[in-house]
Structure 1
Amino acid sequence: MIKLIQPYISFDEVKKDFEEIFDSGWLTKGKYIQQFMQDLQHYINIKYAYATTSATTALSVCLKALNIQSCDEVIVSDFSFPATSNVLEDLGIKPVFADVCLSSFNMLPEELERKISNKTKAVIFVHALGNPSGISRIQEICKYYKIPLIEDAACAIGSSELGIKAGAFGDLGCFSFHPRKLLTTGEGGAVVFNNQCFEQFFEIKLNHGAVYHQGKFDFIDFGYNYRLPELQAVMGIKQLKKLDKIIQERNQIREVYIQYLKPLGFQEQEINQNVIFNVQSMVFVVPKNISRNDLITYLYENGIESTLGTYCLSGTSFSKSKYKDVQKNAKFLEDSTLTLPCYQGVDVEYISQTIKRFLTK
């Protein structure tokens, strides 16, 4: 089976550091977490970074940092994994779904402006499948209306627009280090930001609400244990060092896919000028005259793992029953996108020829 993704990490890379951690007995809140976050700050060119257990917990604590209440609304990109809106539902905050561009798959600026109201307390821009295209325009709109911008950059580590890395545009940025991401720690995530006003909040909230004072901890607020272990931080450090090379390789694979599949009627996810795309996922819109689901089944029968692009949040059974307003572009993309394997050594020619056979069978 040609898998959809393979992690860019081996045991040999981490073995020595793992042994040091086990020998020390220091499994959490040690030097490796500190180094990983410092390396992340340097890589993104941002002042603050805090590790979390996932992008989901990162998003959740960001909403709390902005003091968003259950009577408030947050405008969110409609083409994303449900975690993006789940964090809002968990806090009783109403998600207002903004439709997306059919070519970039990202939030449409005109949709954002149309849906801003006096209840809007934040915007969550999703870098769809790692693509940052259009984030600078969304940033301009948020600044104009004085609305905080949260970047769901779960898929976008290493991507950039206008020379600015994903995560550094918003008031707050969130990353995922899930196994399907380019940089994985097994599970894990991070919050990043530039504004010092958030520093104390995250220091306390991510440490059970505690501060260290006069030789003991004083719990001055309620908080959480969203800590990433030392072992996982080692994995992140090793991959971050080679991330730019990984991204370059994936873009080369992307170009080969496009050469094979575009003549067959497949449309790649488009990126803007002045964008570096990390190719987190190799996604195409399939031709109109074929069944995407039948193609996924056919590929699996021929030893190739594939899946849909991602989900229309407003079209899930939960959201549809609650809000009744399904965004048509996002729904089209959920039904028509295909994610293909993309990593070093993947047999693009075999995958493409298998797709061609499906089209002609």
Structure 2
Amino acid sequence: MNKIPLIKPYIDFKDVATDFETIFDSGWFTKGNFIANFREKISEYTSAKYCFATTSATTALYACLKLLKIGVGDEVIVSDFSFPATANVVEEVGATTIFADVSLETFNMLPSELENKITSKTKAVIFVDAFGNLSGLDAIKKICKKSNLPLIEDAACAIGSSINGVKSGNISDLTCFSFHPRKLLTCGEGGAITTNNPDYAEKLEILLNHGATVQDGKFDFVEAGYNFRMTELQAAMGISQLKKLDQIVEERNEAKKEFDRQLLPLGFIPQEKTYTGIHNIQSLVYRVPENYSRDELIKFLREKGVESTIGTYCLSGLTYYSNKYDCICPSAKLLQEELITLPCFDQVESLKVCNLIREFMEE
């Protein structure tokens, strides 16, 4: 059976073979020229002044909270519809997670929710670009600026997305990307932080390198820092894909148009984009029509050789968070129950997938 995966990585060994050989010949696997080049290329692509490569988006988010010295007694407002890492980092620094519900149309944090959740204890906001969609980010940014709150953008899914020509990575105070295997740009694993704030950049340079710096010509450790560094091999992978990232985004938008053409008449509801700009279509997600079981559809498709899965999670409804905070956001909960993620990549067999969905609905 010809199986259809959710995504096919946009990289082949031949893309990096020469670079890998160079790295192996040099014996220099970390903090070398490829990392420096990757950081520079991400900065160029996003137009952000500074970029720092990390081991994941999770460690990137954690480093941002430590940079801001957020800890016990502080509150961080978080989009409630995301992967658990978004809230887990808040818990790990000892702060209190405050969940903000999301729009049923865009799946992103509602500005009204943010305004209602801000207190004297609020020290930062983490906005999640759900599936790479930047809807509502500008409004959230204005609220944060008015309230003098740092805006951390969980852009794990948003590399390549932009608002009015301004790319994710150059919008918020701190932006965190992921280069996980399911992302449009993958380093196997990995992440990055971008910022335009020179003070943040200076501190991140130290924090991400074990707290080390050079003072008066001497190497010293001035912070309790971390080894959150990406490797040279990962950076080489990232550099090779950056060259074709805009093409990848264009191809995924074309694939989505075909799925929309076939699924919208069946009652499937797509994620809305409420801004002028590019949505990279990191994940192709739809709300399944009423009277049909999303979980049964996933099961049916998998039995037919088509990989599919849920959208993502209502964080406040997960066991750890519901036990601790007992405050579940209703829209995020509904989206967790209704959303399905379908395969999306260049030349995906959209007609086959949609015909199987029709078959399921007719049974």
Query: TM-score scaled by structure 1?
Result: 0.99
Q: How many residues matched?
A: 361
Tell me the equivalent position of 2:6.
Answer: 4
Structure 2 residue runs without a partner (length 5+):
none
> Which residue among 135, 143, 153 is the counterpart of 1:133?
135
Contact 2:84 / 2:315 at 8 angstroms: preserved in 1? Answer: yes
Deviation, 1:213, is 4.5
Contact 1:151 1:170 (C-alpha < 8 Å) held by counterparts: yes
| C-alpha distance in structure 1 between counterparts of 2:211 and 2:31, whole Å | 15
- Correspondence for 1:277: 279
Structure 1 residue identity aligned to 2:238? G
Residue deviations 1:31-87 (CA, integer Å, cap 9, x gap): 000000100001001100000000000000100111112101010000000000000
| 1:216 to partner: Cα distance | 4.8
Task: Establish whether residue 57 from structure 1 lines up as the match of residue 59 from structure 2.
Answer: yes
Correspondence for 1:335? 337
| Structure 1 residue 302 corresponds to structure 2 residue 304 | yes
1-structure distance, mates of 2:216, 2:122: 42
Structure 1, 183-192 or 193-202: larger mean CA deviation:
193-202
Deviation at 1:164, TM superposition (A): 1.4
CA distance in 2, matches of 1:356, 1:193: 46
Match of 1:247 among 246, 249, 258: 249
- Tell me, yes or no, if structure 1 residue 174 matches structure 2 residue 179: no
AA at the equivalent of 1:296:
I
2:35 alignment partner AA = I
Shift of 1:212: 2.8
- In 2, the alpha carbon distance for the partners of 1:219 and 1:313 equals 36
Q: Residue 160 of structure 1 aligns with which residue?
A: 162
The answer to whether the 8 Å contact 1:41/1:49 transfers is yes
Who is 2:124 aligned against?
Answer: 122
Q: Which residue of 1 aligns with 2:258?
A: 256
Same amino acid, percent of matched pairs: 56
Instruction: Specify the code of the residue in structure 2 equivalent to 1:255.
Output: K
Over the aligned positions, Cα root-mean-square deviation in angstroms equals 0.9
- C-alpha contact (below 8 Å) 1:135/1:161 kept by paired residues: no
Q: 1:99 aligns with which of 98, 101, 110?
A: 101
Change over 3 Å in CA distance of 1:357–1:205 after alignment to 2: same
Distance 1:348 1:329 in 2: 29
Q: 1:73 aligns with which of 68, 75, 79?
A: 75
Name the CA distance, whole Å, in 2 between partners of 1:162 and 1:324.
39
CA separation in 2, counterparts of 1:66 and 1:218?
22
Q: Is the 8 A contact 1:160 1:276 kept in 2?
A: yes
Q: Distance in 1 between matches of 2:76 and 2:216?
A: 41
Separation in 1, partners of 2:26, 2:45: 28
Equivalences for 1:322-361 in 2 at 5 Å?
322-361=324-363
For residues 212 and 97 of structure 2, the distance between their equivalents in structure 1, rounded to whole angstroms, comes to 31
Q: Deviations over 1:94-147 (max 9, x none)?
A: 111000000100000011101111111100000001101110111011111111
In structure 2, give the amino acid aligned to 1:140: K
- The question of whether the paired residues in 1 share the 8 Å contact of 2:47 and 2:169 is answered with no
